[in-house]
Structure 1
Amino acid sequence: MDPIHVLRGHLGDVQSLSYLSEDHLYAGDSRGDLRLWDLASCRTEYTARLHDANSGILHLACLPDYGILLSQGRDGCVKLWAAGRTCALDRPTPLQEIRTGSFNFCRCAVWAPALDSPGGTSGPQALDSRPAAAAAAVGPAHSLVSGLAGDPRDLLVACAGHDPADVNVWRPAEAPSISTRLRLSEGINSGAETNHGMCMALAFLSPSPAPSHCETGMGTSESSRSDLEPLDEQDISTCGGGDVDSGGNKGAASDPRFIIAGYEDGVVALWDLRKPGRPLGSLRAHTEPVMCLDVRARVQGRSKGKGGAALQAGRENDDATELYDLVSGSADDKISCCEVRPGAPQPVTLTRQVQLREGGTSDVRIRRDGKLFACGCWDGRVRLFSVRRREPLAVLKYHRSHVTAVAFSLETNQLASASRDGTIALWSVYSSTSAATTALRQRESSSVSAGGV
């Protein structure tokens, strides 16, 4: 499979991607430059220098409903920028700057409560509706104003701390005060096994969609949907709405309760933000540092057998029984697929490890419909897997160097991949059920070699 388009123009390694809309893509590089790409013309529409050239842009999170673009550099700063009606930044200076004190490669995680108002939309049309007075009303760097329909004061940002083993959760409107610090308390779980080293990857857990008429396949029968069939917009809206994180996850409109952290020693740990003294549970998922992870609530009703029925029954009593799919990548040669159940005695369990031909995964993203995930690998390949079956679907080959970031668009499921070679490749991946099912069956019939994928 060849990419449908290739975007060229960055002078440094492209390190982060974030879709503004189906037609616009933000990209940040190692020189600290931001480019807004018009995907219709494949040309750069806007450029800006957001971070110093020595630190670069490590991570981007576009929140169009808030009129906010978040950027993170290796200068120990997370910055919130006002995104204007023309998709450019309204101001040459950030609305807010959080001094995290962290200078490693851990990308921050962003929690953005969804909009309850029916008029809340995303994309350029939403930016056009932003009152001109709102941008003009922005005061000093410490002040945040209401965005398009959401209030930036509701945002939460999780970052590695000054002590790189810590995780600090910030409410930008209250910075420089830290909202929550996740740190092992003195005398609790002391011992060598708790010395996990630096925090390397983070993700908030969004509550799963509430049960609805879209659920099928409970009990021993198979779901009537293919595990790779994308949900359409109506299905998504009827299966529950709510919070949207930087990856497009949806859930109930409230502050998050749980966060997943990946560490230098290969451990992934689940934390309860209300009990920051110790993690709820942990699992050694890798033999090398965890470089990336992504987590998404599993759509209820797609599990087979008694487990799915038990999960459904437990949900009525306690939302902590929800089930999440967790995928992590590392400097080793494995992709780890886990299940997360915050209410279980062992909340993080390994379901399968996929062997790769070569070691190193820079980024992993689960698609919004929860059907497949993409991994950007150090060998220049992008690998696609089925979430439910944890089996490989395809290997995308174009880049000549490390793939540093991958991102799915929210509507068409277009995939973008970025690389150290300075290019961005756009891919059309399994937008139809038949294509995805055929690919999986071909993989099953041919079987993957013992050497990995």
Structure 2
Amino acid sequence: MSKRPPPDPVAVLRGHRASVTDISFHPFKPILFSGSADGELRIWDTFRRQTVSSAWLHSAAHGIVALASSSSLGTNKFVSQGRDGTLKVWDFDDSGLSRIPSLTIKTNTYHFCKFSMAKNQSTGLKEGEPSKNCIETEEAHTNQSCSESSEGLPYVALSGENSSEVEIWDLKSAERFVRLPSNIGHNSSSVSSKGMCMALQLFVPSESQGFLNVLAGYEDGSMLWWDIRNPGAPISSVKFHSEPVLSVCIDESCKGGVSGAADERIVMYSLDHSSSKDL
């Protein structure tokens, strides 16, 4: 059976001088962010298909690893991750991009793993509507902190300074508030044996009572599901792939996902929140 040829592109956006390393659509505006290996960001108007602003956010020696824009940041902000060990929050408006970041976090992580912003279960909330969020801090895992917020969850997960660990950072305070596995856990060595953390998805399923969960893919093909209420050990561990996991994504219901790996397999799976053993 002959394969059909791929469809022609609707448009081709040209302008970067180096390889494009990440792209991200704005959640509410017809805007596309793109970053390249030489550290350049371009903001594109997807209607006119033209660059409306560009700047070098990270050095050419390190480049941009990842970009993200989210309703949790507000309408006129986005985050960039460079291989220089920093996360930066930027402001932009119709006149262009700010030349100085509004926040810089020195994470001291120099991996290729892209950071992940928190994904809430889709509830039909519109921009600006309040939602109730609960988090825990690294210092007091048993104390629940809940607050009303109109900006959602301004948290990011990234591969830690120890490349087998996952760290979650608060973009408002520029502080790390949890490490997975935690230092108090007895499973640190077993997680380290899985190699580097290669792909992440931070999410908030309704069954978790608002607490952050993380799905992490590792160098040996394993995937671990973490709930920050139990930072010492994952609530589930599977190995769908025989090669490093390169990407993971959770659907809008936070009840299923998909992963891709270097073994050329794409795997779809469900997330069973009623079980602590399996994905």
Structure 1 length-normalised TM: 0.50
- Within 5 A, what are the aligned runs for 1:90-239? 91-111=98-118, 120=128, 150-151=150-151, 154-175=153-174, 177-183=175-181, 188-189=186-187, 195-207=193-205
The structural deviation recorded for 1:182 is: 0.6
**8 A contact 1:156–1:172 mirrored in 2:** yes
- Distance in 1 (alpha carbons) for counterparts of 2:185 and 2:103: 37
- Distance in 1 (alpha carbons) for counterparts of 2:245 and 2:215: 12
**8 A contact 1:200–1:262 mirrored in 2:** yes
* Residues 1:280 and 2:231 aligned together: no
* Residues 1:82 and 2:91 aligned together: yes
Aligned positions, number: 250
The structural deviation recorded for 1:88 is: 2.4
RCO higher in 1 or 2 (8 Å CA, sep ≥ 6)?
A: 1
- Distance in 1 (alpha carbons) for counterparts of 2:266 and 2:274: 25
Q: 2:275 aligns with which of 344, 358, 361?
A: 344
- Distance in 2 (alpha carbons) for counterparts of 1:92 and 1:73: 16
- Distance in 1 (alpha carbons) for counterparts of 2:36 and 2:245: 22
Distance 1:326 1:257, change over 3 A: same
Tell me the equivalent position of 1:445. Answer: none
Secondary structure at 1:8 match in 2: coil
Secondary structure at 2:172 match in 1: helix
Tell me the equivalent position of 1:291. Answer: 246
Q: Over alpha carbons, which structure has the higher Rg? A: 1
- Within 5 A, what are the aligned runs for 1:350-365? none
Q: 2:78 aligns with which of 48, 69, 92?
A: 69
- Distance in 2 (alpha carbons) for counterparts of 1:269 and 1:112: 17
- How large is the Cα RMSD of the aligned pairs? 2.9
The structural deviation recorded for 1:342 is: 2.9
- Distance in 1 (alpha carbons) for counterparts of 2:231 and 2:156: 16
- Distance in 1 (alpha carbons) for counterparts of 2:210 and 2:45: 34
Q: Which string of whole-angstrom CA distances, capped at 9 and with x for unpartnered residues, describes residues 61-84 of structure 1?
A: 113634211011111111111122
Distance 1:46 1:333, change over 3 A: same
Amino acid at match of 1:17: I
Structure 2 length-normalised TM: 0.79
Secondary structure at 1:94 match in 2: coil
Higher relative helix content: 1
Distance 1:342 1:83, change over 3 A: same
**8 A contact 1:327–1:336 mirrored in 2:** yes
**Uncovered stretches (5+) of structure 2, i.e. residues with no partner:** 1-6, 130-148
Percent identity between the two aligned chains:
33
The structural deviation recorded for 1:295 is: 0.8
The structural deviation recorded for 1:207 is: 2.6
- Distance in 1 (alpha carbons) for counterparts of 2:225 and 2:15: 40
Higher relative strand content: 2
Secondary structure at 1:97 match in 2: strand
Secondary structure at 1:173 match in 2: coil
The structural deviation recorded for 1:189 is: 4.3
* Residues 1:269 and 2:233 aligned together: no
* Residues 1:49 and 2:56 aligned together: yes
Secondary structure at 2:157 match in 1: strand
Amino acid at match of 1:283: V
Q: Which string of whole-angstrom CA distances, capped at 9 and with x for unpartnered residues, describes residues 373-407 of structure 1?
A: xxxxxxxxxxxxxxxxxxxxxxxxxxxxxxxxxxx
Which segments of structure 1 move beyond 6 Å, counting only runs of 4 or more? 112-119
Secondary structure at 2:62 match in 1: coil
**8 A contact 1:79–1:95 mirrored in 2:** yes
Amino acid at match of 1:346: K
The structural deviation recorded for 1:195 is: 1.3
**8 A contact 1:112–1:155 mirrored in 2:** no
The structural deviation recorded for 1:190 is: 7.1
